[in-house]
Structure 1
């Protein structure tokens, strides 16, 4: 009982220190994204924000952001981010002055992540929405997003079936990896060529890979 109480106090102390640290950094650099991280730590103590914003996650999203800019420029009306989790990629896109984005919808099947994503992106106001939905049931033809982002293709059983639900000509940014040892990764690919063969995009603006310590991440940007 004493050990459990000490553990709870240690966790509370860590959250308080992390909140003070990120809030101080946000004030120093005047950065709304860091301020959003501070608010998540304070309001959602059980959120795994340390994993969502670790160096590998950030590196992969920076790679996506920079490659997107090179491929299609920075102006978008509305972007849909599927499997958006805590909304880190939208926050990074809103934080980048090179982009002019009308709005971003972060869409995830897990209803518990929407409130966290909204907290992280509160500075974006009504330009950001966190929605709970299954990507297979979305009406892409009616929504007509300028860009659909899915950085979790390794979690999708049938990528081609999902891509077939998008109107022809829809711009997409897709990421997958070869991290086969992760149980939740049900559809990894072993190479960039394999990923391209699986996606079968009509037009490819970018195809590349980003090696990390335990796996390689693959990315495609183009149209279905």
Structure 2
């Protein structure tokens, strides 16, 4: 009887296991943002509160973050931190843009995060609200963009495994445009229609005129490949 009674007392004092996850996550991220003074985490708290449908668990998982940190650090090492206008195609929720803005090493006038999915622009704008004077989320097909007229000094595509014709897309960019490209060898993912088996294959596929950085980042289930250079 004592054992049963003690169990009842313990269960009564446990947190409600069906409490709203979003409310808990919002409180947690808001608290972390206040503690560390991080605008990016503060933006994430706003996303959780305003966009409960957003797949932030996937967007901010450790693999996604690791690949973006790698891109940010290698870009700084290869090209410095001063940019007038960066276009990120396939920008999704604008996480990479927020990571650039949050890094004091970078001096960027504007970042355009462009994605064909009309459901992500509002989320990206919320995440980057702290930098709304320098950030724009647009819904567009990257094949229909005016790269010459827009004149970005850096174009980023971290989802080349989703592009059936990488060379065809790169051919739309004016000669001399700087690019940062990522792909992987995760062939078992159905949405990855253009994976590459090696870094060498990625270099040949991209056919860049000049390469400032070429490297790979081993992950648990795949290897991420990255190129930084000019078309």
TM-score by length of 1: 0.95
Which consecutive residues of structure 1, in runs of 5 or more, have no partner in the other structure? 1-8
Q: How many residues align?
A: 216
Q: SS of 1:126's equivalent?
A: coil
What does residue range 49-88 of structure 1 map to in structure 2 within 5 Å? 49-88=56-95
Q: CA deviation at 1:189?
A: 0.1
Counterpart among 206, 209, 213 of residue 202 in structure 1: 209
> 1:217: which partner in 2?
224
Matched, 1:16 2:19: no
RMSD: 1.1
- 1:65-106 per-residue CA deviation (whole Å, 9 max, x = no partner) reads 000001110000000000000000000000000000001000
Question: Which residue does 1:3 correspond to in 2?
Answer: none
Distance 1:12 1:120, change over 3 A: farther
The higher radius of gyration belongs to: 2
Counterparts of 1:124 and 1:54 in 2: how far apart (Å)?
A: 23
- Divergent runs of 4+, >3 A: 9-12
| CA-to-aligned-CA distance 1:115-143 (integer Å, 9 cap, x gap) | 00000000002200000000001010000
Whole-Å Cα distance in 1 between the matches of residues 139 and 172 of structure 2? 18
Q: Which residue of 2 aligns with 1:97?
A: 104
Contact 2:154/2:178 (<8 A) preserved:
yes
Q: Is the contact made by 2:125 and 2:132 (CA closer than 8 Å) also made in structure 1?
A: no
Cα separation, partners in 2 of 1:182 and 1:24, compared to 1, 3 Å: same
- Which aligned pairs between 1:123-202 and structure 2 lie closer than 5 A? 123-202=130-209
Q: TM-score, normalised by structure 2?
A: 0.92
